[in-house]
Amino acid sequence: MGKVVKVGIIGFGTVGAGAAENLLKNHDVILERSGVDVQLVKIADKDITTDRGVQVPASLLTTNVDELIAEADIVVELIGGTTIAGDFILKALNAGKAVVTANKALLATRGAELFAAAEKNNCDLYYEASVAGGIPVIKALREGLVSNKIQRMYGIMNGTCNYILTRMEAEGAAFEPVLKDAQALGYAEANPSLDVDGFDTAHKAAILAGLAYGKWFGLEAVSVEGIRNITELDMTMAAQLGYRFKLLAVIKNIAGAVQISVAPTLIPANSMLGAISGVFNGVMIEGDTVGQTLFYGRGAGRDATASAVVADVTDVAMNIANNCVRRVPAFRAGKNDVPLVKIEDVTNRFYLRLTVKEQTGVMAAVTEVLAQYQISISSLMQPEGSSGDQVPLLIVTHATKEVAMQQAIKEIAQLDCVCGDVNMFRIEDI
């Protein structure tokens, strides 16, 4: 018989029910593999009457979070949000209890406060499920790659966006109808902004960057763009060029400073990340010793997230049972401050889409502006079959600083021959 470690779950929603079911169903598996008797003793929620499809003894259910914190050795926070959830975690840590959370938004915005409380109270704080669901990327950064200097990371970390982009590409469909289908199928929320405007991925990018470089940057450090401006034409042209559109998190060490950005990006279709389709996630981490590693799997959903939560619970339970609490600290700050690279100072290749009047001299006018900013063109295309008074013009550039590209775009948009906005997307040849 292993040492008993008691677990309480705050939040009995989709993920909470999944975690509870996993702990109850696989209790003996966890005991056999860990040597610890991990017992679910309390589940707290505002609503303890609705059937969650999980058979739980009535004695485990409570509406009293304080009761749960008092009884549990490990408190699992699964209610989401950045206010009440954070307060519950602080209360648990200040009571000397270990905490497991899947709350990416909370960590991205209040992580430093929570890590300080965990250190002050000598408590574990684990959060594997906060990034990429069931993919153990945080454990890899904190443990498996501990001897590596992280050179760069790329992440496809939002299943909703990847599903939408995959459908748009495969069907030649527009963004809005595919989004509506995704909502009907349950892949997208009724208010999809957190996903499609890039903020969900930005939360995850901030967490990964902090772990990789020893500074908790926070959400404000992330340059964020969403996928709403991608058109069917963009998808078609990307495929012809050998690329695929992905909502890509980019975290790079550039001469000792760090770039953290999230944006719709063209990546090679034959790359490891380029092959990832549908609701699946992938994270590529490159270390100075190990080289490139790829982590792939389901990044969201009840069971994938619950699996990561229970893995953390088991790790913490083993720490408690073996008297090695904080064997892996929640976060360890580096000795040196790490500056950020502003997105305008980053060098990339770019894909531009603009609508122009069907008249002579248009290409000369556009290329003249690009030349003024020393931006060289790799290819310039007008899709076959374009007709009418206004036609699309597509440009792929060689590498240039984003500040130069942004300035050039402002001038191009003011040309009499250009109609509407100029759309710009980065190209990452990973």
267 within domain boundaries: yes
Please check whether residues 121 and 16 belong to one and the same domain. yes
CB contact set of 259 (below 8 Å; sequence gap of 6+): 250, 251, 252, 340, 341, 343, 346
Can you give the residue range of the structural domain that contains 72?
3-133+302-321
**289/313 same-domain check:** no
**If we measure between CA atoms, which residue out of 288, 395, 399, 289 comes closest to residue 349?**
399
Instruction: Report residue 371 as tokens.
Output: 């030349």
Same domain, 150 and 195: yes
Spatial separation of the C-alpha atoms in residues 368 and 370, rounded to whole Å: 5
**Six-digit token pair at 416?**
């009499």
pLDDT, residue 388, reads 77
In a domain, 334, yes or no: no
Q: Give the CA diameter of the chain.
A: 84
**Is 335 within the bounds of a domain?**
no
CA distance 158 to 248: 9
CA–CA gap between residue 315 and residue 310 (Å, rounded): 9
Domain shared by 315 and 392, yes or no: no
Q: Say which residues have a Cβ less than 8 Å from residue 75's Cβ, sequence separation at least 6.
A: 8, 10, 68, 69, 88, 89, 92, 97, 98, 99, 100
d(CA 385, CA 236): 14
pLDDT value, residue 299: 84
CB contact at 8 A, 204 and 167: no
Structure-token pair, residue 143: 């443990």
Question: 201 and 282 in contact (C-beta within 8 Å)?
Answer: no
Amino acid (one-letter) located at 241: L
> Residue 2: its pLDDT value, please?
82
- Domain at 118, CATH number: 3.40.50.720
For residues 376 and 240, state if they share a domain. Answer: no
Count of alpha carbons within 13 angstroms of residue 389, beta-carbon side:
1
Using CA atoms, how far residue 315 sits from 111, 226, 274, 403, in Å, is 20, 35, 33, 46
Distance CA 203, CA 220 (A): 10
Which residue, of 265, 298, 331, is where some domain finishes?
298
Query: Is the residue at 329 inside a domain?
Result: no
Is 333 inside any structural domain? no
Say if 327 falls within a structural domain. Answer: no
CATH number of 264's domain: 3.30.360.10
Burial grade of 112 (CB within 10 A; 0-12, 13-18, 19 or more): middle
Same-domain pairing of 78 and 171 = no
Distance of CA 313 to the CA centre of its chain: 22
What is the full per-residue pLDDT of the chain (430 aa) written as tens digits? 689 999 999 999 999 999 999 999 999 999 999 999 999 999 999 999 999 999 999 999 999 999 999 999 999 999 999 999 999 999 999 999 999 999 999 999 999 999 999 999 999 999 999 999 889 999 999 999 999 999 999 999 999 999 999 999 999 999 999 999 999 988 888 999 999 999 999 999 999 999 999 999 989 999 999 999 999 999 999 999 999 999 999 999 999 999 999 999 999 999 999 999 999 999 999 999 999 999 999 888 889 999 999 999 999 999 999 999 999 999 988 877 899 999 999 999 999 999 999 999 999 999 999 999 999 999 999 887 677 789 999 999 999 999 999 999 999 999 999 999 999 999 999 9
Length of the chain: 430
Identify whether residues 118 and 150 lie together within a single domain: no
pTM score of the predicted model: 0.94
Whichever domain contains 356, its CATH number is 3.30.70.260
Residues 288 and 393 placed together within one structural domain of the fold: no
Number of domains in the chain: 3
Structure-derived torsion over alpha carbons of residues 286, 289, 293, 299, reported in degrees to the nearest 10: -70
DSSP 207-235: HHHHHHHTS---GGG-EE--STT--HHHH
Q: Is 110 left (phi over 0), alpha (psi -120 to 50) or beta?
A: alpha
The label of the residue with tokens 């904080």 reads 326
Is residue 246 flagged as an active site residue? Answer: no
Instruction: Note whether 15 and 120 are same-domain residues.
Output: yes
As a dihedral over the C-alpha atoms of residue 246, residue 16, residue 126, residue 71, rounded to 10 degrees, the angle is: 170
Which residue from 98, 100, 97 is spatially nearest to 76, judged by alpha carbons?
100
Q: How many CA atoms lie within 13 A of 375 on its CB side?
A: 29
Residue 142: DSSP 8-state = I
Backbone angles phi, psi at 381, to 5 degrees: -135, 145
pLDDT value, residue 333 = 85
Residue of 6, 104, 204, 246 marked active site: 204
At residue 337, the 3 state secondary structure works out as coil
329 Cβ contact partners less than 8 Å away, ≥ 6 residues apart:
115, 118, 119
43 part of a folded domain: yes
- Considering the domain architecture, whether residues 146 and 129 belong to the same structural domain is answered as no
Same domain, 123 and 175: no
129 and 151 in a common domain: no
Whether residue 213 is contained in a domain is answered as yes
